[in-house]
Amino acid sequence: MQKINVKIPAYSKGSYTITIGAGFLPSVLSNIKKLLPKKELFLITDSNVAKTKHFKNLLGKEHLPRYVITPAGEKSKNIGTVTKIIEEMERKSLGRDCAVIALGGGTVGDIAGFVAAIYKRGVPVIQIPTTTVAQADSAIGGKTGVDSSISKNAFGIFKNPAAVFIDVSTLKTLDEKQFNAGLVESIKHSLIADEKYFVYLQKNLKGILERKCKLLEYIAVKNCKIKAAVVEDDPYEKNKRRILNYGHTIGHAVESASNYKLLHGQAVAIGIIAANIIEQKLGLDGKERLETLKKLFGKLNISLKIPKTITKRRILDIISRDKKALRKWPRFVLLQKTGKVLCKNGQFAIQIEREIVEETIDILLKQKF
């Protein structure tokens, strides 16, 4: 078992700990009680996780007040779900002396973190991620929020967790499509920060897909160290933290335009391909990397096809609302080379000419890459 301390200078607690291991979920609740003594605990999970052994492994014989998000997934990630959860907490007479536990994937963690941030002006939240995407990315760093009817994560706030517990054995119950798509965030981390890690993921992909715990622990530790280093440097995304959005500008737009029929990881994979196309158009290193990524995503059975119902106009409309946008035009995170993000005039997200972006979207839609 390994522990990673995430230092956030502007965070009132100063830091929080990420605990990573395999098979320790049954001991987590007692650890939470030691960390947050006298706090009344409220559990938020979803209908998928509630059917698994993880739910019982966490709770044991304990009966905590809870809310089960139904249906599971991005379609429930909206302000209406947040309202329902808060009203359920009020019905349970929970006050500011309560704490929220998030048990589940990225959607559960985002919703639970947002609820904790705004309930009674803020209560602690514990993140227990159970998916590849949540363990690699969304449970770490304190970003929380829900979608509007127009775009992804339109409502949001930074809410650092009191602690994160990553039990990689929970990934063994995840279906193949979700597991594979979630690995895209690990690939993204390697692309922006560590070329050797990118090579490692390729060489060890077979064992990772077989869900060997030692490999899963290794990538969890690697992901958390990469993200923690970025978050510590820029906790509220003023500049450098934007590198964590590599592949997300067009990726989020495609995900939103699909009405969340595309998994987040699949959409980000498409966005990463888009970023590589833009990089080549700007004369940056990347032709060989693009071919490597296409093969890697192929081994993960991740389709890079954008649904025919999604138009260029729709994608452009959504990216104009991207959180990195200036004057209604997005800024892109790009790679100078594998493992290193391009920094221009001290900025890690840069604006690209509209013509290049439109050409890139055309290439994606026509599958000519």
Domain boundary among 174, 197, 214: 174
User: Does the active-site annotation cover 189?
Assistant: no
264 is catalytic: yes
146 shares its domain with 192: no
DSSP 172-212: GGS-HHHHHHHHHHHHHHHHHH-HHHHHHHHHTHHHHHTT-
CA gap 223, 137 in Å, rounded: 7
Global confidence as pTM: 0.94
The answer to whether the CB of 163 falls within 8 A of the CB of 16 is yes
pLDDT along the chain (369 residues), means of 10: 85 84 97 96 96 92 94 95 98 97 97 98 97 94 91 91 97 96 98 98 98 97 95 90 95 94 96 97 89 97 96 94 79 95 94 95 95
What span, in angstroms and rounded, lies between the C-alpha atoms of 187 and 289? Answer: 12
Residue with tokens 């990772």: 208
Active site residue 185: yes
Q: Domain check: are 238 and 133 in the same one?
A: no
Q: How high is the pLDDT of residue 325?
A: 74
**245 in catalytic set:** yes
Q: What are phi and psi of 297, to 5 degrees?
A: -65, -30
CATH number of the CATH domain containing 65: 3.40.50.1970
DSSP code at position 122: -
Nearest one of 215, 162, 191 to 292, comparing CA atoms: 191
Which residue in this structure is represented by tokens 């279906």? 175
* DSSP label of 136: I
Among residues 77, 152, 189, 241, which one is catalytic? 241
Helical residues (DSSP H) of the chain, grouped into ranges: 28-35, 53-59, 79-91, 106-118, 132-133, 176-193, 195-203, 205-209, 213-233, 248-257, 264-281, 287-299, 312-319, 354-366
* Whether residue 63 lies in the annotated active site: no
Residues 204 and 240 reside in one and the same domain: yes
Pair of tokens at residue 348: 């890690």
Task: Identify whether residues 156 and 187 lie together within a single domain.
Answer: no
What would the two tokens of residue 87 be? 């009203």
Catalytic residue among 248, 289, 323, 324: 248
Respond yes or no: is residue 153 known to be catalytic: no
Among candidate residues 74, 237, 255, 279, the one labeled active-site is 237
Q: How many domains does the chain have?
A: 2
- Active-site residue flag, 354: no
Q: Are residues 151 and 216 in the same domain?
A: no
Looking at residue 10, what is its pLDDT? 60
User: Which residue in 121, 308, 366, 368 is the catalytic one?
Assistant: 121
| Sign of the dihedral defined by the CA atoms of residues 346, 192, 138, 307, in that order | positive
pLDDT attached to residue 281: 95
The answer to whether 266 and 302 are in contact (CB under 8 A) is: yes
82: amino acid identity, one letter: V
Domain that holds residue 130: 2-174
Question: CA quadruple 121, 237, 247, 171: dihedral positive or negative?
Answer: negative
Choice among 189, 252, 324, 331 that is catalytic: 252
Q: Measured over all CA atoms, what is the biggest interatomic distance in the chain, rounded to whole angstroms?
A: 60
Is 185 found in the same domain as 168? Answer: no
Q: Does residue 252 carry a catalytic annotation?
A: yes
Q: Is there a single domain that holds both residue 93 and residue 21?
A: yes
- Which two structure tokens, joined as six digits, stand for 274? 């888009």
Domain boundary among 174, 198, 229: 174
Do 182 and 166 belong together in one domain? no
Q: What are the DSSP calls for 17-83, one per residue?
A: EEEEESS-GGGHHHHHHHHSTTPEEEEEEETTGGGSHHHHHHHTT----EEEESS-SGGG-BHHHHH
The residue among 135, 159, 174 that closes a domain is 174
Active-site residue, selected from the candidate residues 77, 143, 159, 188: 143
Residues 211 and 130 in one domain: no
Both 190 and 144 in one domain: the answer is no
Let me know whether 344 and 253 are in one domain.
yes
Q: Are 115 and 90 in contact (CB under 8 A)?
A: no
Name residues whose C-beta falls within 8 Å of residue 177's C-beta, 6 or more positions apart in sequence. Answer: 263, 301
Comparing C-alpha atoms, which of 243, 261, 278 is closest to residue 364?
A: 278
| Active-site entry in 74, 185, 255, 279 | 185
| Catalytic (active site) residue 206 | no
Q: Which of 54, 152, 227, 240 is catalytic?
A: 227
Give the pLDDT confidence score for residue 152 in this predicted structure: 86
Same domain, 185 and 164: no
CATH at residue 276: 1.20.1090.10
Q: Under a CB-based contact definition with an 8 Å cutoff, are residues 39 and 124 in contact? A: yes
